[in-house]
Structure 1
Amino acid sequence: MRGIRGIRGAVLSARRHGRAAVEAVRRAWVEPGRERDLAVQAVKAALAACVAWAVAGWWLKAPMAFVAPWVAVVLVESTVYRSIAHGLQQVAAIATGTVVATGAVLMVDSPLGAMGLVLPVAVLLGNWRRLGSQGIYAVTGALFVLTGGPVTVAASAARIAEAVFGAVVGIAVNALIRPPVYLRSTRAALEDAACEAQEILDAVADRLAEDEWDAHVAGSLHERALRLCRLVDQARAAVGWSRESLWANPRRGRAISPPGQDYDDAVTVLDHVAVHTTGVTRLVLEACDGDGKKPRPGPHVTKPYAEFLHCSARAIRLYTQSRFAPSGQDERADQELREVVEDLVRNLDDLRQRLHGAMPGDPDVLATYGTLLTQARRLADQLVSH
């Protein structure tokens, strides 16, 4: 029985992965996005390898022609800057390993003995900080020499020349044929984080307004709030990734500018939104705890607080629409955002008055109300200032 269940589970998993793959292919075909970018980079890598092999292997008939397409294909990197930086590091690593191994074999006159001497040195060189993530190619270059047949200075020089040629081809293909720019994926990352924040705040507000205190739902919302922090971190990384994608990029001069202050402001706002959302969902979760130790605010507090959360969610939605519209800044959304922010300030003032008027003498209830007010004030300050 367990075996049958395992087979069914594997079949269902294969179907899900198959549907996901088909959907990814469909999106790459019909619309711009991450899937199409990945497909283009894959085609470019194959093209770089073919060009390098056609010249080094078919035309020049180099003795170690496979080195050129191998280097070319791995240097069609995610950004032009990385292609250049990693290309220089990789060629330096291959050249270092090749030179060290060639010298050792010529001195020892025994490939096996030279291997025992060279590989520890090559591994240490591979951890040299200046070679970065390409340091491992020092070991690869040494192994090509040690296991590739008779060792001569001419053969080793040809191997280094083929690596240089492959690097030039890979960098040129990545820089000249649709060089990658990631502004679109950065906007998508920011919009995903903002949309998730809006949905969580609306969901919490709905339950507070209806006086629903379900521990399971509260736990689920708190988990989503914790994941929201990771989405904001991904958006922050995407902003840096977009800026890097424009370094040494020929497309930068074609009406493409790096992410501006709006992107940094959006990350700052979303960071505070994530912190606020996590705090609110944690407070609700603790209030739903079955032991009854945490006090639950009454309707005279939860209803105005729910209205404040709804208003905050609308402000977040309009903020992204205003700042990251496909055609530039959306003036209509910007005007709506100003109106919602004014409502947000009024709701916060009303919430302050209600909370101060409802403050009891119980220290636990006082702490709960104070936490709600502090979180609300911090979120409103960020939304208003930006």
Structure 2
Amino acid sequence: MHASTITRGRQATEHKSAPAPAASAAHRLADGLRAHRDGHVVHGVKTLIAALITWGIAAGWSPGGHPYLAVATALVMANASTVYQSVTKAVQNVGGRVAGLILALTTARLLGPTAAAVTVIVVIAVLAGPRRTTDDRLQIASTAVIALAATASDPVGGLVAPVLETLVGAAVGIAVNALVLPPLYLEESDSAVRDLARAVGTLLHEMGSGLAGRRLTDEAHAWLHQARSLEKRLTHAQERVQQADESLRWNTRCVTHGRCGGVTYREAFRTLRGVSIQVRGIARTLADNAHDDHVDHHLGHQFLERYAETLQLAGSAVQVFAAPRTLEDASGAAPRERLRGAIERALDWHDTMTDLIGRGTLTKPGAWHVYGSLMTDLERLLADLDHAHAH
């Protein structure tokens, strides 16, 4: 079957199914809004639970019966983005407050609650050490300044009570965050990886269709621009996958249900990152070749037709990453089977092209470096897809 026939058939199919992407986008938007609303409800419930428990524990012994510091600390910990972050933030928060209170106690004893004491606190906090972040230094300084008056009038009580309140608030906040619907970000990871797969697969299809339609000169730079813009999607997907991985650490949902292992699409992202690098290399080589003034460097039509077909098959294989795991096509084939079939067809075309180049059928003397670059990138792209399927 000729590449042009395949292209016309696919274009007709795309026109018939044009409303589908819009409907899919609308469903994704609705799901996103629903997820945000549900997330706000969960945060509100956790915030209320953490505040009430902390107030009940600390109100009896806190100064004046108002444990505001304990409640404030609990709210921060209960609303941390992950259980792991709630623990690490608690350690930093408690450490910063203790350091600030000790600094306030020391300066109050030496200088009293004066402007000189405030100056010393600010200078020491700024010079607290190169490893401390700006937020840590500001927390130490603000805690010390606020506690300066309390430590001056009651040094021991002014130091012990805030520390105990911070510890209680941190403990309650961590417990609430870990036990009351601890946050998971698996859907966000899933969505980001699927969007990346759609973008990469679509670009491969567009390059394949463009080469088959002899539109290399007209569209090569647009392909390169699209390939370069994949970097933003890669960064977004990487952040979402890392967040999902972190949300699994110490998460009680995983302990009680045992269903969180290997579901963050980390391996799929790694594959797509490698594929994206190869796609960018292919787009760059095609753009350079499209405007090369040396006629003997131009690629032959026979090579471009075969290469176009391979890119389209690779695009189909990449887009399988964007398909839901339970989705089956009209033939009943599962995504894994479709991926295997697309890779095998692409590898067949690759072997054919390699053989033709080896026999000298497709070569021009000055275009060897272009053929080599395109074939190397395609070889690596297919190897990444094949590795992903094997695992």
Provide TM-score, normalisation by structure 2: 0.79
Aligned residue in 1 for 2:7: none
Partner of residue 363, structure 2 = 359
The 2-side partners of 1:162 and 1:251 are apart by 29
Q: 1:66 is matched with which residue?
A: 68
Q: Does 1:162 align with 2:165?
A: yes
Cα deviation code 1:143-164 (max 9, x no counterpart): 2113669642213322222222
Alignment RMSD: 3.3
Superposition pairs for residues 154-303 of structure 1, below 5 Å?
154-215=157-218, 217-260=219-262, 263-289=265-291, 292-293=293-294, 295-303=297-305
Give, in angstroms, the shift of residue 384 of structure 1. Answer: 2.0
Seen in structure 2, the aligned counterparts of structure 1 residues 315 and 165 have a Cα distance that, compared at 3 Å, is same
Q: Deviations over 1:310-369 (max 9, x none)?
A: 100111122454xx61699x972222222222211111112223334211222xx22111
Partner of 2:89: 86
Q: Mark the CA change 1:55 to 1:111 in structure 2 (over 3 Å): closer, same or farther.
A: farther
Is the Cα contact below 8 Å between 1:182 and 1:242 reproduced in 2?
Answer: yes
- Aligned residues of 1:126 and 1:134 also touching (Cα < 8 A): no
Report the AA paired with residue 206 of structure 1: S
Query: Aligned runs of 1:109-120 on 2, under 5 Å?
Result: 109-120=112-123
1:382, 1:117 → 2: CA distance?
Answer: 59
Q: Answer whether contact 1:44 1:173 (CA < 8 A) is retained.
A: no
Task: Provide the C-alpha distance between the structure 1 equivalents of 2:202 and 2:193, rounded to a whole number of angstroms.
Answer: 14
Please, what TM-score do these two structures have when normalized by structure 1? Answer: 0.80
Distance 1:223 1:80 in 2: 40
Task: Give the AA of the match of 1:176.
Answer: L
Taking the aligned partners of 1:71 and 1:184, their CA distance within structure 2 comes to 29
Corresponding residue for 1:16?
none
Cα pair 2:224 2:287 within 8 Å, conserved? yes
Give the structure, 1 or 2, with the largest relative contact order (CA under 8 Å, sep 6 or more). Answer: 2
Identity %: 23
Aligned length: 353
> Structure 1 residues 114, 133: CA separation in 2 closer, same or farther (over 3 Å shift)?
closer
Distance in 2 between residues matched to 1:194 and 1:310, nearest whole Å: 14
Gapped regions of structure 1 (runs ≥ 5) = 1-22
Partner in structure 2 of residue 51 of structure 1: 52
Residues in 2 aligned to 1:250 and 1:262: alpha-carbon distance in whole angstroms? 17
| Partner SS state of residue 254, structure 1 | helix
Q: Secondary structure at the match of 2:124?
A: helix
Tell me how far 1:45 sits from its aligned partner.
6.2
State the one-letter code of the partner of 1:180.
P
